[in-house]
Amino acid sequence: MLMRWVAGRAGIRISVNAAALACLVLLTAPGRCLAQMPGQPVIQNAFSNPGITVGVNFGRATDQDVNGFAGAAAWAPSSGKFLFSGGAGIVKAGEGDGVFAWGLRAMLPISLLKLGDSFGVAAFAGGGGASEKGATQFKFPVGASVGYRRAIGSSRGVSAYAAPFYSWSRIDAGDVVATNGSFRVSFGVDITVVRSIGLTVGYETGGQVDAGSAGPLGDVFGVGLSYALRRAR
């Protein structure tokens, strides 16, 4: 289950899983990018990958029995001046049934703050959600990313980055609505395994909320694999 239900003073109390909005961004040096959704960590590199990229992601809340599985896709023009990504999949808590979850994101590199080809800074914003038993969870992260990338030979590379962000959360369960905001930070490493194939490992941590409130309850780990279908023209 994405949400766990406990009787409360307002008739129902909702405990949201630790996964804040997802973005397993597979943005290796020359760059890969995928999408975001509940059940994944919010990680974002500062470089865009021109063209279309697809991939698969796995996320897990480190202090809860909550897992997320997703497919994602991203597109950026040949100029690399912006990037759009989206994903959909399943969030599953314990032995409960899986819940459909989705996410969307936009990323904008900030060229004025770019220091050569190896360093980059980008702004990003996104949103995603999931529903279960009449209750809907939404999360909206807004933040910035600072990244460093380095080529390894002619067809491989590695990129490391950090992304502080503010995540606003909302749970709507009919008569009960809860909202909250948390400051979080994520860290990621992207590796070009072979040409067109990238591997990402990421971790999200930061502000948490008490059980029964909207927002993240703990840290989230994620890993993903991406494939660049074609370059933009």
CB 17 within 8 A of CB 41: no
Residue 29 has pLDDT above 60, yes or no: no
Calpha distance 118→191 (Å, rounded): 15
Residues 6+ apart with CB under 8 A from 197: 225, 226, 227, 228
Domains of the chain: 3-230 (2.40.128)
Note the pLDDT tens digit of each residue in 203-231: 999 887 776 677 777 889 999 999 988 66
Per cent of the chain over pLDDT 90 is: 40
Residue 107 has pLDDT above 60, yes or no: yes
Measured in residues, the chain has a length of 233
pTM above 0.85, yes or no: no
Residues 6+ apart with CB under 8 A from 30: 47, 49, 149, 151, 157, 192
CB atoms within 10 A of CB 181: 14
Note the pLDDT tens digit of each residue in 52-91: 999 999 999 877 778 899 999 999 998 888 999 999 999 8
Calpha distance 195→197 (Å, rounded): 6
